[in-house]
Amino acid sequence: MPIADAVLAVNNDLPIRTHKPVHSGKVRSVYWLTAADSARLIQEKNYPVAPDTPLAIMVISDRISAFECLWKGEGGLDGIPGKGAALNAISNHWFQCFREAGLADSHILDIPHPLVWIVQKANPVMIEAIGRQYITGSMWRAYAKGERAFCGITLPEGLERDQKLPELLITPSTKGVLKGLEGVPEADDVNVSRADLERHHQAFGFRRPEDIDAYETLLRQGFKVISDALANVDQIFVDTKFEFGYVRDTEGQEKLIYMDEVGTPDSSRIWDGAHYRTGEVVEQSKEAFRQELLHYFDDPDVLLDKSRMEERTTLAENTVLPRDIMQRVSDTYIALAEKITGRPLPRPEHPRAEIIGTLQEQYDLID
């Protein structure tokens, strides 16, 4: 079987019964179920949510995005073999670890297929909560230029690139464009301070001011769970993105949960421990693919300069990357998933047909 056949590149045209337009992001697509199907599944599957909770089918693709563009490879590879299954397996594992540690639930209610989640509707907190344990990437570049204040936190002098920080830093940024907030630029993905969150807690989606403490606690606890587990397989948890939201339990009471994905090579930086101890950084995440792209093109500035976005988009659309670049990403993601979960990664051979069959036979959701 051609390897491209096992890649799920298009995930927004499945015949799942829905009453709203499919929301399709760079990697995942979300199908909101009808109220009748949501209520039926909650009852049939005994999901621990309020009986009128809206549910959705979330389907992850194997597409790969970097520098805000999608990339493809030779041999009809419109994605990375095994990538979607690896991301889901890793997130599933960490969410389970969080529950076992008594931290908080996630938005996931069911996992019908390695590329599919059934999720509950959450009211998101409008921040991407970044936890940083090492100084690297954009933070290092700003530090090297003389910046010392990040999200209201002042870093000490004398830090070196890729050095472990004195403590875990929480550097939130906006999720979406928030308007009319004093001190907060009207733009997506801009850094905000703890003081900004406290001053505008309702605009950021926090129900109560004390929930800012709760999200920080969940972030620190979740980061430690992942960092400790990765250390056991000689991997270093460098930084990651967390997202949070509110859902209702069976009694209708709101609670703060983890949502989106967490601790994956798409949302985190992970380094190989053995190489780091010799002074070499070996990326075990999508950052390695970004670096390959920067070295692949004669003019890498097109990938970094946001004013050249139209040119960058055209470049990505017209580029077919060598098969070996795509395969290296696949090997990294699959190996990391198997290290984290401790078992072979289930890899669908015919993902589209499998998803449709499972959702029809076990959930009666296919029109």
Q: Tens-of-pLDDT digits for all 367 residues of the chain?
A: 567 889 999 999 999 999 899 999 999 999 999 999 999 999 999 999 999 999 999 999 999 999 999 999 999 999 999 999 999 999 999 999 999 999 999 999 999 999 999 999 999 999 999 999 999 988 899 999 999 988 788 999 999 999 999 999 999 999 888 898 888 888 888 889 899 999 999 999 999 999 999 999 999 999 999 999 999 999 999 999 999 999 998 888 899 999 999 999 999 999 999 999 999 999 999 999 999 999 999 999 999 998 999 999 999 999 999 999 999 999 999 999 999 999 999 999 999 999 999 999 999 999 9
308-317 contacts at long range (C-beta below 8 A, 24 or more positions apart): 309/68, 312/67, 312/68, 312/69, 313/69, 315/69, 316/67, 316/69, 316/70, 316/71
Query: 57, 359 in Cβ contact below 8 A?
Result: yes
- Mapped onto helix, strand or coil, the DSSP state of residue 191 is strand
The single-letter code of the amino acid at 320 is V
Q: Which domains does the chain have, with CATH numbers?
A: 3-122+341-361 (3.30.200.20), 124-277 (3.30.470.20)
CB 103 within 8 A of CB 90: no
